[in-house]
Amino acid sequence: GDSVTQMEGPVTLSEEAFLTINCTYTATGYPSLFWYVQYPGEGLQLLLKATKADDKGSNKGFEATYRKETTSFHLEKGSVQVSDSAVYFCALPLQGAQKLVFGQGTRLTINP
């Protein structure tokens, strides 16, 4: 069945470092792909999305490109800030259903 695999965390970086969080997926067809972020003590927020192959989603300095060839949707940011500390979830909608399939989440901590 459809699934999402995320790199295991936690990830700890210094401020202004480059960030990559890997996400690969298994799916029938070409679903939309999402990155959600969950700040401490809060619900999930949609960070960015891509709806077809080669699309690049971007928001708040984060980017992710929908790569059909490698079935990947890696999240990147060129210069992280302390305020980016959160848990990041990669997700895709299950084909033919109203479900979101989530990766396990990656906890990111940015030190000043």
Among residues 95, 99, 78, 76, the alpha carbon closest in space to that of 26 is found at 95
Question: Smallest distance, Å, CB 16 to other proteins?
Answer: 27
50 binds other proteins (CB under 8 A): no
- Out of 56, 60, 68, 99, the residue judged to bind other proteins by CB under 8 A: 99
100 binds other proteins (CB under 8 A): yes
DSSP state, residue 67: B
Site of interaction with other proteins (CB under 8 A): 29, 31-32, 34, 36, 42-46, 49, 51, 89, 93, 95-100, 102-105, 107
